[in-house]
Amino acid sequence: METVKCALKAGHKVRALARSAGNIPVSHPNLKKITGDALDEGTFRHALAGVDAVIQTLGVDFSPEIIFRGTRLFSVATRLLVTAMKETGIKRLISVTGLGAGNSRNKGGLLYNIAFHLFLDNVYLDKDAQEWIIRKSTLEWVIARPVILTNGPRTGTYRVLVDPQEWRSGFISRADVADFLVKQIDDNAPLGKAPVLTS
């Protein structure tokens, strides 16, 4: 939602793919809503035709089943997306995972790490796989790893931490994460990097 609004404000034409795209409470001449499934390869091909860049923001509802059994949504959807992007010639992928994915595991501080292992371990195993798929692709990619998300306003004062020694937990608004994601459409500086985003 925030990413859609931010991209429109920046002057981009946007296609928003979601299972319930019709419920997106934003109307704009430059917005096309596409209802579809992130696990359907055909949906991707339709949605990607003629676009220049993809921002991927997947999420799951943290039910007890998800917490204990994990998920394969992130890895399967990303593998399908990367394949479809290659087939349609789209180069740039901007993806969101989170602090704790890949080599940022155990970098959040004691309390964050304890809570992470209690509730997020199984989900983030699939985010690890998601990041690996992106890294091994030939795409121009950026992986954003936000810390704990809030519904606060866009501040523009968030930090983009590339150095692992600086990685730590904290809070960041969804609006600030969206600001970072949209900027990566045209910015080449963070390509091939997976920074942690925090306020």
Round to whole Å and give the CA distance between 162 and 143. Answer: 11
Q: Are 110 and 72 in contact (CB under 8 A)?
A: no
Q: Residue 145: what pLDDT?
A: 97
Round to whole Å and give the CA distance between 53 and 16. Answer: 12
Q: Residue 129: what pLDDT?
A: 97
Q: Residue 1: what pLDDT?
A: 81
Would you say residue 60 has pLDDT above 90? no
Rounded to two decimals, what is the model's pTM? 0.93
CATH architecture assigned to 2-198 = 3-Layer(aba) Sandwich (3.40)
How large is the average pLDDT for residues 71-99? 94
**What is the domain partition of the chain in residue ranges?**
2-198
Q: What percent of the chain lies above the pLDDT cut of 70?
A: 98
Cβ-based neighbour number of residue 32 at 10 Å: 13
Tell me which H or E stretch contains 137. none
Q: Residue 179: what pLDDT?
A: 97
**Cα–Cα distances in angstroms (integers) from residue 197 to residues 68, 94, 104, in the given order:** 27, 14, 12
Phi, psi of 87, deg, nearest 5: -65, -30
